[in-house]
Structure 1
Amino acid sequence: MKIKTRFSPSPTGLLHIGGLRTALYSWLFARKNNGTFILRIEDTDIKRVNNNSIKDILYVLNYLGLFWDKEPVYQSSRLKIYKDIISSMLKNNIAYKCYCSQERLDGLRKNQILNKQKPKYDRKCRYKNSCVKKFNIPYVVRFKNPISGLVKFTDMIRGEICTSNEELDDLIIQRSNGMPTYNFCVVIDDWKMNITHIIRGEDHINNTPRQINLLNALNARIPVYAHVSMILDSQGKKLSKRNHVMSVSNYINKGFIPEAILNYVLRLGWSYKDKEIFTINEMKNLFNLQSLSKSPSIINDKKLLWLNHYHLNNLPLEKVYQYFIMYAQIKKIFLDKNIDIKGLIKDFLCHHKTLHEFALSYCYFYQDIDLSKILDIHIYCNIFNLKILKFLYKKFFLLTQWSVSNILLLIKESALKFKVCFKDIAVLIRISIAGKKDTPNISSVILYIGKNTFLSRIKNLIKYIKLQILEK
């Protein structure tokens, strides 16, 4: 049997960590077993569908490298398939039209609750003469769920689950507006697409017996089910699509890289011995359904930060460079070609946990310095510093070999000439080229910022000090 899995999000909000975990587990299971992974967008609920959500789902999966096979499937393009099957079910007497008004259904539910009964439809229209036609009266179509017996299935995580048909309702498979329902469409698509394994959240467990009954009525093969545990936020609450803080795209915008995000999400309910760090290939080779936990997982941003720091510092430099370029594009950061970004990453990224943090700390590499906004800039506006800066400009302008050792020699030479300590010269240079007194090793900063930018910024401070002196 060829393994075939699917990820079938409803595009009603941004993709959150819980949805991503479902996608990852389905993708890993398919890849490990040389199977097929399908992306299916369940967009039949027109009122709630959000086009930005669809774009977000495609963007996140692409960014993380969870590539699907074939083209994405949109349920909204398959309406004729669903309606034809519903017509066939009506003809074969395994579904029926229900004309009960919402008022009647609300009253029925209210009475059942008052009598401490489980609210469900009383099947009034199921037993009416199906030949009687009612015109201009809205109706829904319901599936004739078996009235007696048990529905059994073996969940790959939770073991055998057994439900009495007496507990189940006659499922609505078509709304009064003629649109098929989620629970119907998902069953038909899983059947017609030959999905072999369905990995999804435990909140779908209650749907499974109804869907199995529907599949049996259609003489369709029953897939294997695996219902993964809930993911809770740090307050112990269920994740929500509407909480943008928890969206995956939010983490991407904060500078988290694919290896870290996937490693983190993998461990939210799955484990392999005491191993914490996983490469993408290790995930594909080691993943299995049997090691998934029944217990809920809790979001831990500190763990994600730790993993991001680890992967940033252990991936090949070229790979990290590519991620930073992608991040810069996302944030619309313009990077000067004269700046040695790879060198900057190689020497300084180790101090930071995210690309966002890194970019923020070294913004002076890609942003102009507004000298007027530097705290206590007036302290540096004097004739003595002006002489030092002019000397530095002249020496660095003549420098032909742009290297850390030569840069260091020139700074030392300047300090000796003006009889000041190295630290004072370094601070003046930092103010000129970075707009602040504290940076990493000054020689490295000068090296990576490049000769042209260095000279341009020294010149800018010279002009600024001249103006300040004249105004005095």
Structure 2
Amino acid sequence: MPDRPVVTRIAPSPTGSMHIGTARTALFNWLYARHTGGKFLIRVEDTDRERSTEAAVQVIFEGMRWLGLEADEPPVFQAARADRHREAVDALLARGAAYRDYMTAEELEAEREAARAAGRVVLSPWRDIAPNDAPDRPFVVRLKSPLTGDTVVADKVKGDVRFQNKDLDDLILLRSDGSPTYNLAVVVDDHDMGVTHVIRGDDHLNNAARQTLIYQGLGWEVPVWAHLPLIHGPDGAKLSKRHRAQAVSEFDSMGYLPEAMRNYLARLGWGHGDDEIFTDEQAIAWFDIVDVVSAPARLDWAKLNHINNHYIRQAEIGRLADLVSAIHESRDLPAPPALRPVLERAVPLVRDGAKTLLDLADSTVFVLMQRPLVLPEKALGQLTEETRARLGRLATRLAAATAWDVPALEAEIRAFAESEAVGIGKFGPALRACLAGAASAPDLAGALTALGQEESLGRLHDALSPAA
């Protein structure tokens, strides 16, 4: 469609969580629209009224917001367009591209058995009966598919895929209760929304043949098709619960940043040379749907963790502190406002080794612990009289320190060890326990820096007091 601006869409069904495959499909649609200067739209396919709840709809919108994929127009809700779908069926009937099928349930079952025996698709006897000969009983409306030749789906990912028309049955467009079916509704909605490129999972490839026939029956231009390969687990099997997370919300809960997910999902089936990490701007500039590979992509946790670590290291400290605070709050370990500066000091000292935000939260628990700390048994065993005395001398030295940052404190600890004529290993483990208890913490200078001088000395005093 060279003379029309590109319009892409994502069309999820609100019947559960937003799957990672849907998220990648949304991303590819968004990238292609941005790459071409077109529009990216969202349609909620909520025709399953029993399962399509308001809560499920919000799950979709929340997933899209978290991923940072903003549509260019308000969402379209498919269920609200039933009258328009029936109008399109009337047009198909008027054009002779559809017919009313009055077969009873018993007649349909008999035809199915005959079709199976003959190795052909179901063919209704009502295909060629004039409408004025119709009986007064319920009917469905079927597409009048051609019986010979091929239907070609010119797919930007798969290449040309041919379907023999003799194998395509006359699919139902309108049920006997007047409700439209999926394939009809999708065609009408995509046409009315101006969708030029249908980019979706390759589990819809068979639908593309049927939908092509509906477009042709209505005399409408067929969109450009692009069917994406599925995402498999690391073992090459179809993604399932045994492969850990499947839903976007789970990746959020597991501590992955949305920009890391965008970067990683873009690499699942598409790439730009050997580039593993790239910005949204670079992805938009480079992305073309014809570069998507046709083989299934594999979820690789090690790569995802590597990319997430990169974005954690690049993120603003204040934002990370907000995200980590929310995790602490969810774990019933709230961070009062007074501890916000301490948390912000701790984050840059521990984030280099954090694969996820959960790791980052684990590594900052030590700054939120209430005094006096409960020391583990191993630490109590390390606090011999000799070590207590040595740490007391270190505390006196630290109290006199005029600079309180990692380089200065590393120098203080080394100088103290030299003055005591011992290695840092003689007192370091006990010092770490005094500062962090059983919690994870950065190196000694990092822990002291994060806690600040007053809190560090207070924790040392608590641990070394006779009551401890």
Shift of 1:186: 0.8
Corresponding residue of 2:279: 279
Q: Note if contact 1:414-1:425 (Cα within 8 Å) is conserved in structure 2.
A: no
The Cα offsets for residues 7-30 of structure 1, whole Å up to 9 and x where unpaired, read as: 111222322232222111111111
* 2:37 maps to 1:34: yes
Task: State how far apart, in whole Å, the 2-side matches of 1:226 and 1:188 are.
Answer: 18
Task: State how far apart, in whole Å, the 1-side matches of 2:261 and 2:281 are.
Answer: 15
Corresponding residue of 2:8: 5
Segment drifting more, 153-162 vs 277-286: 153-162
SS at match of 1:14: coil
Q: Note if contact 1:5-1:196 (Cα within 8 Å) is conserved in structure 2.
A: yes
Shift of 1:279: 1.8
* 2:124 maps to 1:123: yes
Corresponding residue of 2:47: 44
Task: State how far apart, in whole Å, the 1-side matches of 2:304 and 2:406 are.
Answer: 35
Corresponding residue of 1:322: 319
SS at match of 2:433: helix
Segment drifting more, 245-254 vs 200-209: 245-254
Q: Note if contact 2:350-2:363 (Cα within 8 Å) is conserved in structure 1.
A: no
Task: State how far apart, in whole Å, the 2-side matches of 1:75 and 1:407 are.
Answer: 63
Shift of 1:311: 3.6
The Cα offsets for residues 434-464 of structure 1, whole Å up to 9 and x where unpaired, read as: 113874321221111234543554465467x
Shift of 1:223: 1.0
CA distance 1:398–1:98, change in 2 (3 Å): farther
Task: State how far apart, in whole Å, the 2-side matches of 1:406 and 1:327 are.
Answer: 27
Corresponding residue of 1:171: 171
Shift of 1:166: 2.0
SS at match of 2:213: helix
**TM-score, normalised via structure 1 length:** 0.83
CA distance 1:170–1:423, change in 2 (3 Å): same
Corresponding residue of 1:82: 85
Task: State how far apart, in whole Å, the 2-side matches of 1:330 and 1:58 are.
Answer: 22
Corresponding residue of 1:227: 227
Q: Note if contact 2:374-2:437 (Cα within 8 Å) is conserved in structure 1.
A: no
* 2:369 maps to 1:362: no
Segment drifting more, 121-130 vs 72-81: 121-130
SS at match of 1:294: coil
Shift of 1:187: 0.4
Shift of 1:386: 6.8
SS at match of 1:227: strand
Amino acid at match of 1:326: L
* 2:302 maps to 1:302: yes
Segment drifting more, 358-367 vs 413-422: 413-422
CA distance 1:323–1:415, change in 2 (3 Å): closer
CA distance 1:162–1:380, change in 2 (3 Å): closer
Corresponding residue of 2:429: 427
Shift of 1:408: 5.6
Task: State how far apart, in whole Å, the 2-side matches of 1:86 and 1:453 are.
Answer: 74
Alignment of 1:31-430 (within 5 A): 31-49=34-52, 51-90=54-93, 93-102=96-105, 104-113=107-116, 115=117, 117-118=119-120, 120-131=121-132, 132-135=134-137, 137=138, 139-239=139-239, 245-313=245-313, 315=314, 317-318=315-316, 321-323=318-320, 325-326=322-323, 328-329=325-326, 332=329, 334-336=334-336, 337-368=339-370, 371-372=373-374, 374-376=376-378, 378-379=380-381, 402-404=404-406, 407=409, 422-430=424-432
SS at match of 1:245: coil
Task: State how far apart, in whole Å, the 2-side matches of 1:266 and 1:85 are.
Answer: 36
Task: State how far apart, in whole Å, the 2-side matches of 1:35 and 1:190 are.
Answer: 15
Shift of 1:75: 1.2
Q: Note if contact 1:370-1:435 (Cα within 8 Å) is conserved in structure 2.
A: no
Amino acid at match of 2:237: K
Q: Note if contact 2:327-2:361 (Cα within 8 Å) is conserved in structure 1.
A: no
CA distance 1:415–1:293, change in 2 (3 Å): closer
Q: Note if contact 1:255-1:327 (Cα within 8 Å) is conserved in structure 2.
A: no
Shift of 1:38: 0.3
Structure 2, unmatched stretches of 5+, are none
Shift of 1:410: 6.9
SS at match of 2:28: helix
**TM-score, normalised via structure 2 length:** 0.84
Segment drifting more, 328-337 vs 408-417: 408-417
CA distance 1:142–1:235, change in 2 (3 Å): same
CA distance 1:432–1:179, change in 2 (3 Å): farther
Corresponding residue of 1:446: 448
Task: State how far apart, in whole Å, the 2-side matches of 1:219 and 1:242 are.
Answer: 46
Shift of 1:431: 1.8
- The alignment's C-alpha RMSD in Å is 3.5
Task: State how far apart, in whole Å, the 1-side matches of 2:207 and 2:357 are.
Answer: 41
Amino acid at match of 1:28: L
The Cα offsets for residues 387-412 of structure 1, whole Å up to 9 and x where unpaired, read as: 77777777767877544466567767
Corresponding residue of 1:466: 467
Amino acid at match of 2:40: F
The Cα offsets for residues 144-195 of structure 1, whole Å up to 9 and x where unpaired, read as: 2233443234212233233232221112122344332211111011100111
Amino acid at match of 1:82: H
Shift of 1:6: 0.6
Task: State how far apart, in whole Å, the 1-side matches of 2:308 and 2:198 are.
Answer: 30
Shift of 1:367: 4.4
SS at match of 2:58: helix
Between Structure 1 and Structure 2, how many residues are aligned? 459
Shift of 1:93: 4.6
Corresponding residue of 2:20: 17
SS at match of 1:60: helix
Structure 1, unmatched stretches of 5+, are 468-472
Segment drifting more, 280-289 vs 415-424: 415-424
The Cα offsets for residues 256-310 of structure 1, whole Å up to 9 and x where unpaired, read as: 2233322222222223233333221111001112222122222222222222233
CA distance 1:95–1:229, change in 2 (3 Å): same
Task: State how far apart, in whole Å, the 1-side matches of 2:450 and 2:403 are.
Answer: 13
Q: Note if contact 1:13-1:50 (Cα within 8 Å) is conserved in structure 2.
A: no
Amino acid at match of 2:323: M
The Cα offsets for residues 326-383 of structure 1, whole Å up to 9 and x where unpaired, read as: 3543663544544444443333222232222222233222344785572435426777
Corresponding residue of 1:470: none
